[in-house]
């Protein structure tokens, strides 16, 4: 009985800690808003870079393929934390000083852009080459064939892995805490370190906030992947006429 009393009065999850956390809820919500904003902007940047370098890696121009590989290999094989610290600490020595919010958005976006590029590369190469050849034989240019035939099919295929990349991107925005970026993780750590040492409630509620953002994306990506597999299995069923199944050709 005494152990239960101590847990609720002096333990890491004591009630008074939760009361103070509730009083600091505006601070946590402000950090949550910054995390959402950084995630959205970084995801847009990652998608733009991913599409561009994904197209580069599948083009017939060797210089573009080499450029794409350099980008992907550099950012996939160096830690995001190192990239953030480099931009935050090293660039000011050459006269380039950026706002911490901008640093977080750029670093997270460029980092995940390398992974998105690989997702698009895999999606494009999964489309049968005969479709590109058929489009070119009908007078389509390479750009027109990619825009109207290849990319629409690619986007459907890559949506599940893109959803997973979005989840990883959201979680990686927590690196802003290392440079006082004002995000959710930084607010939680600062509040817990400011005299109360209430790390238990702070990190628990922070985890709940991240879960609120990530779980719907993971669940959606899983459902979409199952729909694609179900559609493909129906299309490949013996004796089925593709003309009788509109989804088979989509």
For 107-125, write each residue's pLDDT tens digit: 999 999 999 999 999 999 8
In contact, 98 and 106? CB cutoff 8 Å: yes
Closest CA to 38 of 5, 84, 97: 84
In whole angstroms, what is the distance from residue 141 CA to residue 135 CA? 8
pLDDT of residue 6: 57
Provide the pLDDT for residue 83: 95
Confidence of residue 61 (pLDDT cuts 50, 70, 90): confident
Confidence band of 143 (pLDDT split at 50, 70, 90) = confident
Confidence of residue 7 (pLDDT cuts 50, 70, 90): low
Give the residue, 94 or 248, on which the prediction is more confident.
Answer: 94
Q: What is the pLDDT of residues 206-225, one digit of tens each?
A: 999 999 999 999 999 888 88
Using the predicted structure, report yes or no on whether residue 139 has a pLDDT greater than 90: no
- Whole-angstrom distance, CA of residue 155 vs CA of residue 242: 21
pLDDT given at position 242: 46
Q: How confident is the model at residue 5 (pLDDT cuts 50, 70, 90)?
A: low
Q: Among candidates 91, 47, 45, 54, which has minimal Cα distance to 72?
A: 54
- How confident is the model at residue 149, as a pLDDT? 87
pLDDT of the residue at 59: 85
Residue 244 has pLDDT above 60, yes or no: no
* 26-232 topology per CATH: MetI-like fold (1.10.3720)
Give me 223's structure tokens.
Answer: 């459902």
What is d(CA 197, CA 43) in angstroms, rounded to the nearest whole number? 34
| Interval 169-198: pLDDT, tens | 999 999 999 998 889 999 999 998 887 778
Higher local confidence (pLDDT), 59 or 29:
29
**Model-level pTM?**
0.84
Percent residues over pLDDT 70 in the chain: 88
Rounded CA gap, 142 and 136, in Å? Answer: 7
């Amino acid at each position: 009985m005494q152990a239960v009393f101590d847990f609720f009065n002096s333990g890491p999850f004591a009630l008074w800690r939760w009361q103070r956390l509730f009083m600091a809820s505006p601070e946590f919500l402000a950090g949550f808003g910054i995390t959402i904003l950084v995630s959205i902007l970084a995801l847009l940047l990652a998608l733009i870079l991913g599409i561009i370098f994904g197209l580069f890696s599948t083009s017939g121009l060797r210089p573009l393929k080499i450029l794409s590989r350099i980008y992907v290999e550099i950012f996939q094989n160096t830690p995001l934390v190192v990239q953030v610290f480099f931009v935050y600490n090293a660039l000011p020595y050459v006269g380039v000083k950026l706002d911490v919010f901008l640093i977080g958005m750029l670093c997270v976006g460029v980092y995940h852009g390398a992974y998105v590029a690989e997702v698009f590369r895999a999606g494009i190469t999964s489309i049968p080459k005969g479709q590109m050849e058929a489009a070119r034989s009908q007078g389509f240019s390479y750009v027109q064939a990619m825009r109207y035939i290849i990319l629409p099919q690619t986007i459907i295929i890559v949506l599940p892995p893109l959803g997973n990349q979005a989840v990883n991107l959201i979680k990686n925005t927590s690196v802003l805490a290392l440079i006082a970026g004002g995000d959710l993780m930084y607010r939680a750590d600062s509040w817990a370190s400011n005299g109360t040492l209430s790390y238990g409630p702070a990190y628990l509620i922070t985890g709940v906030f991240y879960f609120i953002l990530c779980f719907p994306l993971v669940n959606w990506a899983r459902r979409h992947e199952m729909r694609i597999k179900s559609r493909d299995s129906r299309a490949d069923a013996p004796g089925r006429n593709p003309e009788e199944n509109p989804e088979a050709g989509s």
